[in-house]
Amino acid sequence: MKINIVYNNKIAGCGNVLETLKTALIQKKVDFKDYDISNMENYGNFTFVIGGDGTLLKAARFYSTFKTPVLGINLGRLGFLSQTDTGEIDNAVQKVLDGKYSTEERLMLESENSLALNDFVIKGCNTYRTSKFYLEINEKFVCDYIADGLIISTPTGSTAYGLSAGGPVLYPTLDTLVIVPICPHTLNARPLVVPSDEIITVKTSDKLLSVAIDGADTAECVKQISVKASKQKALLVFLNDDSFYSVLRNKLHWGISPERK
């Protein structure tokens, strides 16, 4: 087995975790190469990613081209997509080498040359006020919104920004997309779940739309955007048998009653 290691040096503690992982692989005589998140290559047939969910999202998009499975070592706050923490590296490496892991294909979104595993977040270029957005599906007008923006999300991304904006939680392997308005200036705007073969187009009465992909710090301004499911799939690695529902409980505290004091 040959291993890619992708790391994000902007996150505190990354250097120490990288050295721990490299030491574990050297001791087990495994070939590897390591890459900063801004300069990835594909040397191996498996990838460890050291960082938060943002780092994992970027790596998963990149390695989806090569159908290389990706495993996250969490250094972020939530680590919703990561499967192991920094204190479990030796155990994780051994499980990978023994083939004691599973993989799951995850639907991604595309617009022209851009890919998203979580979501496209669409706002007016003047982000300090509401904008008017026109929603079309398969070139047919659906509705318009006066809102802060719209989120077009995959099932994987339904537990990210879309959840915070009031969208539904979707099981991550469902073949659907979800459209969530952000702070709509109306009482009757609701999230919309559609089949993954639909083409979603958003236009605006403003001059330009601001589009951010998977929570990126920078956004591109365009006149309109069309989003659809990509033929490429992200390939995520799972080391244990925890269900999606247990992840919701453990990381988002879903369905847990508050304790009495």
Domain ranges for the chain:
2-101+239-252, 109-230
Going by C-alpha positions, the residue among 192, 222, 229 that lies closest to residue 106 is 229
Map tokens 């030796």 to a residue: 90
Q: Evaluate whether 2-101+239-252 and 109-230 have a shared fold.
A: no
> How confident is the model at residue 251, as a pLDDT?
72
Q: Name the catalytic one among 34, 36, 53, 241.
A: 53
Band of residue 201 on the pLDDT scale cut at 50, 70, 90: very high
- Of 51-60, 81-90, 128-137, the least confident: 81-90
Band of residue 77 on the pLDDT scale cut at 50, 70, 90: low
Q: For the domain made up of 109-230, give the CATH fold.
A: Tumour Suppressor Smad4 (2.60.200)
Indicate the pTM of the whole model. Answer: 0.90
Q: Is the pLDDT of residue 164 over 80?
A: yes
Average pLDDT over residues 98-124: 95
**Cα 260 to Cα 252: distance, rounded to the nearest angstrom:** 19
Burial of 86 (0-12, 13-18, 19+ CB in 10 A): middle
Burial of 113 (0-12, 13-18, 19+ CB in 10 A): exposed
Q: Is the pLDDT of residue 246 over 90?
A: no
- Residue 5 is which amino acid? I
In percent, the amount of the chain with pLDDT more than 70 equals: 95
Q: For the domain made up of 2-101+239-252, give the CATH fold.
A: Rossmann fold (3.40.50)
Q: Is the pLDDT of residue 83 over 70?
A: yes
Catalytic annotation present for 31: no
